[in-house]
Structure 1
Amino acid sequence: MLKTKIKASSITNLTDARYFAAWEAEWLGFNLDPGTENYVSPATVQAMKEWVDGVKIVGEFNQQEARDILTSVDILGLDAVQLGTFASLETLQALHAKEVPVLQELVVEEWSDLSALATQMEARSGLAAYFLLDFAKNGLSWAAAKSNVLAELRQLAEDFPLLLNLPFPASEVEEVLEQTGAAGFSVQGGEEEKVGFKSFDELDDLFEALEVFE
């Protein structure tokens, strides 16, 4: 059992899928946007689903039409979908109408973006189950966040359910949880060193710090 929710994002191989499932991550995310980095085919997702239990399967999309996303939801039995930063409000509304849980990704380009992102979240409040703030794509880290936007980030977490992709040392996980009030974190695996083998040393440190002993 973990202290907070974890979404494993952009999984491309069974080794990662089984690793995150074993640690009881809340969600396993698969990129279903053809032509983009880390894309996996629906057939591959279906095959990997057979090897994991107890996790929610998320299809990750960018700007696909709602009807195409809903087709994937039906074919793959997705538990939720993640929409990219530029997905339309209409797409979110269509998915909400079909009772499909949505994780809305919002990429933070610079610290001053947070106020504008708050406006976006307000417009989507009640339609998205969680907002995934991605600081990592632009090299923004927890160390810098503490000096720049901690109060703003804390306020967002009070107003909206937040998942953070925000790099920090595993030794500081308690501090991040306490000071941000986030609902959870988004993490990402990587390529296998060879089929069926890879090192999880860094992720092991994080999950060990999050583990709750009963």
Structure 2
Amino acid sequence: MLALPVLVRGINNLSDARYCAGMGAQGLIFTLDASLPGAVDAATARELAGWVAGVDLIGEFGHVAGAEINRLVEECGLTGVLLRLDPARQAWPQGLAVPALIEVPASLLINQEHYAAAIADLTAALPVGFAFFTTAPQPYPADYAYWHQLARQAPLWLAGPPDPTQAAETAQYVHPAGLILEGGDEIKPGLRDFTELEAVFEALEEA
């Protein structure tokens, strides 16, 4: 049992999908926007998802229309989406069928006025639900108490630090909605080095 929910981003191979699901990850994130680096097609996402059970399936998108996102939500059985959008542009996809994680710069969260405004805007624009996702400034996090206070205002996911101790401390002191870790590429089909991911997962089990 992990100390808090974990999503793993950039899933593009069966080794990652099965390993992360087996280690207790809550969900797997597939980049389904062809304009983004590391994208996979819908057929690949469906195939990889077919080998795991009991995990959320999340699609990652940039500036893609809501109708197209919803088509892929249905085609791939997604339970949520991760949107790489700049809140200042307010170009939110319309009519999303599932909740969204909104990737935002850490600078947005440092300014309380802008943070409050973003919460209000997203509450109106995304009635099915939303959460923020960001990377805390270095050192990570700069101030545990401050980030804990932010996490109380709106669901806040943080990019998981590769250092296991920092990941455990973030879980203990910040209490975010969860951590998002990065997947990786196979060395060759069926062969993958999980040393760094394993250390973080184990630290979260102990936290």
> TM-score band (shorter)?
0.7 to 0.9
What percentage of residue pairs aligned between the two structures are identical? 31
Q: How does 1:179-194 map to 2 (within 5 A)?
A: 179-194=173-188
Q: Secondary structure at the match of 1:198?
A: coil
Aligned to 1:174: 168
Aligned to 1:71: 71
Aligned to 1:101: 99
Asked whether 1:156 is paired with 2:150, we answer yes
1:20 and 1:115 map into 2 onto residues whose CA distance is 37
**What stretches of structure 2 of length at least 5 have no aligned partner?**
none
State which drifts further: 51-60 or 172-181: 172-181
Amino acid at match of 1:170: P
Aligned to 2:133: 132
Question: How much does 1:28 deviate?
Answer: 0.3
Aligned to 2:52: 52
**What stretches of structure 1 of length at least 5 have no aligned partner?**
none
Q: CA RMSD in A?
A: 2.5
Amino acid at match of 1:156: L
What TM-score results when the alignment is normalised by the length of structure 2? 0.86
Amino acid at match of 2:72: S
Question: How much does 1:107 deviate?
Answer: 2.8
Q: Secondary structure at the match of 2:161?
A: coil
Aligned to 2:32: 32
Q: 2:159 aligns with which of 138, 142, 165?
A: 165
C-alpha change, 1:111 and 1:56, in structure 2 (3 Å) is closer
Number of residue pairs matched? Answer: 203
C-alpha change, 1:58 and 1:144, in structure 2 (3 Å) is closer
2:22 and 2:110 map into 1 onto residues whose CA distance is 38
Q: Secondary structure at the match of 1:211?
A: helix
2:24 and 2:160 map into 1 onto residues whose CA distance is 20
1:71 and 1:111 map into 2 onto residues whose CA distance is 32
Deviating 4+ runs (over 4 angstroms): 87-90, 109-115
Question: How much does 1:10 deviate?
Answer: 1.4
* Maintained 8 Å contact 2:66/2:94: no
Aligned to 2:141: 145
